[in-house]
Chain A
Amino acid sequence: MASVQTEAKPIVDESKALDWLRQMMLIRRFEERAEMLYQKGNKIGGFFHQYSGQEPVAVGSIGVLRPDDWVITAYRDHGHALALGMTARAGMAELLGKATGCSKGKGGSMHFFDVEKGMMGGHAIVGSHIPLAAGFAFASKYRGEDRVALCYLGDGAINQGGVHEALNMAALWKLPVIYIVENNLYAMGTSLTRSSAHQDLTIRCATPYGIPGHQINGNDIELMAKTTLECVEHARAGEGPSFIEAQTYRYKGHSISDPGKYRMRDELDSYIKKDPIEVYASILKKRGWIDDEAVETMREEVKAEIEEAIEFAEKSENPPLEAVYEDITAGPFSPQE
């Protein structure tokens, strides 16, 4: 799993690489501070699933998309939304349930949406959003466009029936969709070995449907980008879906209430030692694209951006009580009470 990152061939230019490093830092800092707000002050409610450790998967793959492509993901969605360019302000305000949040305070941590950025939502029924991605791709093909849909799911989702129904139809109809399984080895507290009869997810999800499958180190951001780009080009050329198993690891428990006792401390430590953000920073240093001082400056800027987002979120208004009946139907809604 997620082997030591090797010197990736630079498939990006300097400015994009630095941008990716910054995005990963932003996602990491966003969640570190959100966790503090969750634990101190009880400002964030509900379930809160962190993405820490998996940042290269979202940033690398989203980094090769066009602005008119679509991205959909599951409940561990903060990273994907920020990688798409959704503001930290809108994300933090959503966590605090404010009207200025990306879903007007109605979605919460698991339901970040941003139509302008092509963020088609975080979705919290495991496996349920996989057919939706095929639907976006269906629409693209129906209209003769070359837009693609990128869909992230966890390793737990591959055991859901709807996932295989969607994979079958996506392959049958050659829909321009790329499925990325973020294999972090655990579906909540159940390890892959206890939930999947076969541990090779490509054999389970791509091979049966004749879909090209790629099993890669998802924590190698440039490999992630390169593989996704290959799949995107395949899809834009009308060749249909692809499947990527991105091997990665989450630092935190399943959600904030989970101390993650089902895994050994050594296992976690081994991943933290090769933290993908640190690894990528050192690769960029070796290329001469950044130095220690600039990394520190970047880190400080990101911290300031997150503090500003928290201030914005805290100052924002709660949705008015009448908002409970808003945005249920297209026209005015009549409650049937």
Chain B
Amino acid sequence: MAVFSFREALNQAMTEEMERDDRVFLMGEEVAEYDGAYKVSQGMLKKFGPRRVIDTPISEEGFAGIGIGAAMVGLRPIIEFMTFSFSIVAIDQIVNNAANMRYMSGGQFSVPMVFRGSSGMAGCLGATHSHRLEAWYAQIPGLTVILPATPADAKGLLKTAIRSDDPVVFIEHEVLYPEKGEIPDGEHLVPFGKADIKRPGDDVTLITYSRSLKATLAAAEELAAKGVSAEVIDLRSIRPLDLETLVQSVKKTHRAVIVEEDWPYCGLGAGISDRIYREVFDELDAPILRVASSDAPIPYNKQLEASMLPSVPRILAAVDEVTYR
């Protein structure tokens, strides 16, 4: 296995799928001549040409819709949002058109496409460039919502997303792009709807995804030093959700903490904890706690911004609470 960065993993996934299937193309702002705002599409214009790697005007609603139309008639677009904060401009297309099309046409139309791009708090970008909108998208039937945390998962899940016959919202965390990790050689696909136990443990279940995996694993390491064995589950796919893996883990540990970077109110953790409660209420020895961002817009100030993130101390405090320490 060779080591690659998260952004190289995504580039490999797109490149391999475009080599395999002429129906796949990449469209978005600055994806071609600029090599991608975050260099995820570096070299792809040179390799595939302007027919398949297409720079757009700043028109998120328009080019998201063009992608949906192209998908309805048999192409497999990858639509890049420079950041998912900008996807709000296109949300009508994603929800009203991409998610609904199969249903309201009585199954006559598929929308096989990927909406992908960066998201999350990433170093003083302020209120409009730091959104985590996964809970919004996860609520919509018809959408698949994927948030990888490692380069290997990023590659394997993006390849699965490009091959999916449904619209996939594929959210990459901006601070993960330079992170490095081993990627299996050869064809590497990761299925949707399968959570990954990134660290096994017996005393508490820590459920997380995307960038928060790193802080959660670091917290698990500290817990181990204190004699607490934490199981860390990376959801990877938040719709469909792998409830079974969560249930089995909580049956073993009897305690759970959900670590998420999105907002707390009606956030992803709210829905997930509700599901776990209804499945294994009798198995729980403590309430399920959630470590989320503060219920506020994202501040510019570095200290204020850092205070909002699910950090190791905040995760440890939550674990202390559920283990009554």
B35 to chain A, nearest CB (A): 21
A267 to chain B, nearest CB (A): 33
A187 to chain B, nearest CB (A): 18
> How many residues of B are counted as interface, with CB atoms below 8 angstroms from the partner's CB atoms?
48
A240 to chain B, nearest CB (A): 14
Q: Is A104 an interface residue (CB 8 A)?
A: yes
**Residue on A nearest B108 in the bound complex, by CB:** A115
Chain B positions 89 through 115: 1 when the CB is less than 8 Å from some CB of chain A, otherwise 0: 000110011000111111111101000
B71: chain A residues at CB < 8 Å are 135
Binds A, one of B53-61, B198-206, B218-226: B53-61
Q: Is A139 an interface residue (CB 8 A)?
A: yes
Chain B positions 180 through 198: 1 when the CB is less than 8 Å from some CB of chain A, otherwise 0: 0000000000000100000
**Residue on A nearest B63 in the bound complex, by CB:** A169
Q: Which residues of A246-304 are within 8 A (CB) of B?
A: none
Contact of A328 among B25, B62, B102 (CB under 8 A): B102
Q: Is A103 an interface residue (CB 8 A)?
A: yes
Q: Is B165 an interface residue (CB 8 A)?
A: yes
Q: Is A132 an interface residue (CB 8 A)?
A: yes
Contact of B75 among A101, A133, A142, A172 (CB under 8 A): A142
**Residue on B nearest A319 in the bound complex, by CB:** B106
Q: Is the CB of A132 within 8 A of B106?
A: no
Q: Is A15 an interface residue (CB 8 A)?
A: no
Q: Is the CB of A136 within 8 A of B73?
A: yes
Q: Is A212 an interface residue (CB 8 A)?
A: no
- Chain B CB count within 10 A is highest, among A105, A121, A133, A140, for A121
Q: Is the CB of B92 within 8 A of A128?
A: yes
A168: chain B residues at CB < 8 Å are 57, 59, 62
Q: Is A80 an interface residue (CB 8 A)?
A: no
Contact of B164 among A131, A161, A330 (CB under 8 A): A330
Chain B positions 43 through 70: 1 when the CB is less than 8 Å from some CB of chain A, otherwise 0: 0000000010000110101111111111
Contact of B56 among A115, A169, A327 (CB under 8 A): A169
Contact of A138 among B69, B112, B142 (CB under 8 A): B69
Q: Is the CB of A125 within 8 A of B96?
A: yes
B62: chain A residues at CB < 8 Å are 131, 134, 162, 165-166, 168-169
**A115 to B106 alpha-carbon distance, docked (Å):** 10
B60 to chain A, nearest CB (A): 8
Q: Is A42 an interface residue (CB 8 A)?
A: no
Chain A positions 24 through 51: 1 when the CB is less than 8 Å from some CB of chain B, otherwise 0: 0000000000000000000000000000
**A106 to B255 alpha-carbon distance, docked (Å):** 42
Q: Is B74 an interface residue (CB 8 A)?
A: yes
Q: Is A174 an interface residue (CB 8 A)?
A: no
Contact of A135 among B70, B165, B275 (CB under 8 A): B70
Q: Is A334 an interface residue (CB 8 A)?
A: yes
Q: Is A336 an interface residue (CB 8 A)?
A: yes
Q: Is the CB of B106 within 8 A of A135?
A: no
Q: Is the CB of A328 within 8 A of B142?
A: yes
Q: Is the CB of A172 within 8 A of B57?
A: yes
**Residue on B nearest A111 in the bound complex, by CB:** B104
Q: Is A107 an interface residue (CB 8 A)?
A: yes
Chain B positions 256 through 273: 1 when the CB is less than 8 Å from some CB of chain A, otherwise 0: 000000000000000100
Q: Is A329 an interface residue (CB 8 A)?
A: yes
Q: Is A200 an interface residue (CB 8 A)?
A: no
Q: Is the CB of B102 within 8 A of A329?
A: yes
Chain A positions 308 through 337: 1 when the CB is less than 8 Å from some CB of chain B, otherwise 0: 000000000000000000111111011110
Q: Is A22 an interface residue (CB 8 A)?
A: no
Q: Is B241 an interface residue (CB 8 A)?
A: yes
**A132 to B40 alpha-carbon distance, docked (Å):** 26
**A130 to B56 alpha-carbon distance, docked (Å):** 17
Q: Is A186 an interface residue (CB 8 A)?
A: no
Q: Is the CB of B51 within 8 A of A103?
A: no
**Residue on B nearest A94 in the bound complex, by CB:** B106
Given A113-B109, A128-B92, A142-B51, are A135 and B104 also a contact pair (CB < 8 Å)?
no
A164 to chain B, nearest CB (A): 8
Q: Is the CB of A142 within 8 A of B107?
A: no
B93: chain A residues at CB < 8 Å are 128, 131, 162
**A336 to B271 alpha-carbon distance, docked (Å):** 9
**Residue on B nearest A140 in the bound complex, by CB:** B73
**A128 to B66 alpha-carbon distance, docked (Å):** 11
Q: Which residues of A130-167 are within 8 A (CB) of B?
A: 130-140, 142-143, 149, 161-162, 165-166
Contact of B70 among A107, A139, A172, A330 (CB under 8 A): A139
Q: Is B313 an interface residue (CB 8 A)?
A: no
**A113 to B62 alpha-carbon distance, docked (Å):** 22
Q: Is the CB of A107 within 8 A of B106?
A: yes
**A161 to B64 alpha-carbon distance, docked (Å):** 13
Q: Is the CB of B109 within 8 A of A115?
A: yes
**A113 to B109 alpha-carbon distance, docked (Å):** 9
Q: Is B305 an interface residue (CB 8 A)?
A: no
Q: Is the CB of A135 within 8 A of B107?
A: no
Q: Is the CB of A131 within 8 A of B240?
A: no
Q: Is the CB of B106 within 8 A of A138?
A: no
B8: chain A residues at CB < 8 Å are none
Q: Is A21 an interface residue (CB 8 A)?
A: no
A121-B101, A142-B25, A162-B93 given; 7 more Cβ-contact pairs under 8 Å: A113-B108, A120-B109, A131-B64, A135-B72, A161-B61, A169-B63, A327-B107
Top 6 closest A-B pairs, CB basis?
A: A135-B69, A131-B65, A165-B62, A104-B106, A330-B165, A327-B107
In the assembled complex, 23 residue pairs joining A and B whose CB atoms fall closer than 8 Å, in A order, are A107-B106, A113-B109, A114-B108, A115-B105, A120-B72, A123-B97, A128-B92, A131-B62, A131-B69, A134-B66, A135-B66, A135-B67, A135-B69, A136-B73, A139-B73, A142-B75, A169-B57, A169-B66, A327-B103, A328-B142, A329-B142, A331-B165, A336-B239
